[in-house]
Structure 1
Amino acid sequence: MNLRTLKLAMMALAMPSMAMAGQCGYEYCWGAVGIGPNGAWGFSWGQYSEQDAVNALQSECEWDCNNVKTFYNTCGAMAEGNQGNWGFGWGNSRGLAEDNAIGYCYQNGGGCQIKVWSCSP
């Protein structure tokens, strides 16, 4: 095996462990979820910073999301009700985040449904 082949083999072995170190390559993988008037919604995941997560989310919802929540290394969800009420929840799975969001939404009114979710491992 020549030196170049050996280097390529070593890089191939290292890549899976680099990806597992928080798929963004840093300690925190940021994400965000948000909702806004007239049905606006957006999400982001796998961002390097909290501000990057917010910017990616706002870009997706055309800067119309006025209720924005961020999280890192977990899942986040937002539920919206029929009385202007909403709730945010987070957890180590999509289901847990959604359950928490629905619970907080119902504390402020009825008709709650999940509007958006995202996970940022």
Structure 2
Amino acid sequence: MPGYNAPNASTPVAPAPVWKDKWGAIALDKDAGDAGTIADRDTKAIAVHDAMSDCKARGAQGCKVVLTYYNQCAAIAWSDDSYGASTDKNLQMAEDGALGACRKNGTGCKIVYSACSMPERVR
């Protein structure tokens, strides 16, 4: 085809993708053993608010945000005498990190929550 890949021809460049951050948060009441969790929120403030609301809706009174994260995965491991929280780009690695953190101070640790809040392509 004449002019195809000619040295002076301009090749249109596709626009770069545009991504929107997605946030998550975890609130715990360690004494009551309750948690509030949320993922896929548009801002950190919304994630924190929704995690606290979820924790309180479960009847907990001493809820505190222990973890916020965006564009990655998070996990919580829990035992009778310890807990651990971790984030990572990979869900399995986040779970492994939470278990490791929990096992530093406790035994019988189990994953009680894990989720990912990955960025959303908007264009």
How many residues in Structure 1 have an aligned counterpart in Structure 2? 97
Between the aligned partners of 1:21 and 1:30, the Cα distance in structure 2 is: 17
Unaligned runs of 5+ in 2: 1-16, 119-123
Which structure 1 residue ranges, 4+ long, deviate > 2 Å from structure 2?
A: 63-68
Between Structure 1 and Structure 2, the one with more helix by share is 1
Deviation for aligned residue 1:118: 1.9
Residue identity in the other structure for 1:102: L
**Paired residue for 1:34?**
27
Flag the structure with higher strand content.
2
54, 79, 98: which one aligns with 2:95: 98
- The corresponding residue for 1:54 is 48
Pair 1:21–1:112, CA change in 2 (3 A): farther
Unaligned runs of 5+ in 1: 1-19
Identical counterparts, % of pairs: 32
Matched residue, 1:44 = 38
TM-score under structure 1 normalisation? 0.70
**8 Å CA contact 1:43, 1:118 repeated in 2:** no
Find the aligned partners of 2:65 and 2:83 in 1 and give their Cα distance: 9
- 8 A Cα contact 2:76 2:85, kept in partner: yes
| TM score, norm. by length of structure 2 | 0.69
The one-character-per-residue Cα deviations of 1:29-62 (angstroms, maximum 9, x if unpaired) are 1111232232311211121221111111111121
CA displacement at 1:120 relative to structure 2: 0.2
Alignment RMSD (CA, Å): 1.9
